[in-house]
Amino acid sequence: MATGQIRQLLAGYYDVATSDGTIYRTRARGNFRKRGITPLVGDYVDFQSDNQEEGYILEVHPRKNSLVRPPVANIDRAIVVTAAAEPDFSDNLLDRQLVAVEEMNIEPVIYFTKTDLLSAEQLDHLHTVAAGYRKIGYQTLVPNDAFAPEALTELSAEFTNHLAVFMGQTGAGKSTLLNHILPDLNLATGEISQALSRGRHTTRMVGLHEINGGLVADTPGFSSYEVFKMPANELSHFFPEFLAASVECRFRGCVHINEPGCAVKTGLEHGDFMQSRYTNYRAFYDLIVNQKPDYRKNKK
């Protein structure tokens, strides 16, 4: 028995990489379905194999997190690709994405695209916004040219020792950025299909590619930021700057809305926090409070 990480799912086959980089083609044991287990790319697994072409996954190790789109487990970083223009930059959308990433215990990297479409004044404002997110602790990249070699080199440094996924709004350029980061992506996909020689069975869901000492999922996604599933009183846990300040609030469990002695509101008055972040926090809080419960899952 050996241990490895699933690097690719292809037509029911799981390609598992061991610590020395050897790839084994495996299938999942039949009892996984009965146990409600679906192995995902990024999972660490125990497997048995007599050769590199025929093996079986015996057990899936516990995950630290997982996504539905793309279907990847054990993610460390999310590259949040954010348009500076066309579509116009939306701090509300960016903060939604950051809350979703924080809830998954994934560290975000904010990467602005289409900065070349901004006027000098607009670019200055974006740099001010970026400085605000950096103050929170978020790595934030504002390249003058989204796909310039130096910008891609700076982004690639974020992959070392991490498993990363790309996410972002439609039109932000996440697929284009991903193709620049992995220029051999199409070639690699073609080689895989040819090597398999399975014709119509080469449907490929997602794969991980090695880059700069880390791994990147080759399929962008992650749209779960559209819905807030946490209780309203836990929302502030996913705003790191508010969470850190809350230890100074007069009341334990302060939600930073109407309570006296609130350190977050005091910090806001003193300019310690971005006004846009608090405005979005209040909007998200109200959304959660006003969400109608979904009783469908309880219906027979």
Give the annotated binding-site residues for GTP.
113-116, 168-176
Annotated binding site for Zn(2+): 249, 254, 256, 262
Give the pair of three-digit tokens for residue 108: 């975000």
CB atoms within 10 A of CB 136: 16
Cβ atoms of residues 45 and 5 within 8 Å: yes
Q: Is 240 exposed, middle or buried (0-12, 13-18, 19+ CB in 10 A)?
A: middle
Residues in CB range of 53: below 8 A, 6 or more apart: 25
Neighbours of 114 (CB within 10 A): 19
Q: What angle do CA 203, 185, 162 make, to 5 degrees?
A: 100
Cα separation, 69 vs 217, in Å, equals 11
For residue 232, give the H/E element and its range.
none
b or e along 277-289 (b: 16 or more beta carbons within 10 Å of the residue's beta carbon)? Answer: bbebbeebbeebe
Residue ranges of the annotated binding site are 113-116, 168-176, 249, 254, 256, 262
CB neighbour burial string for 69-108, b if at least 16 within 10 angstroms, e if fewer: ebbbbbbbbbbbbbbbbeeebebebbbbbbbbbbbbebbb
Instruction: State the Cα–Cα distance between residues 115 and 31, nearest whole angstrom.
Output: 51
Measured CA distances, 145 to 116, 118, 140, 211 (Å): 6, 11, 15, 21
234: its two tokens: 């836990």
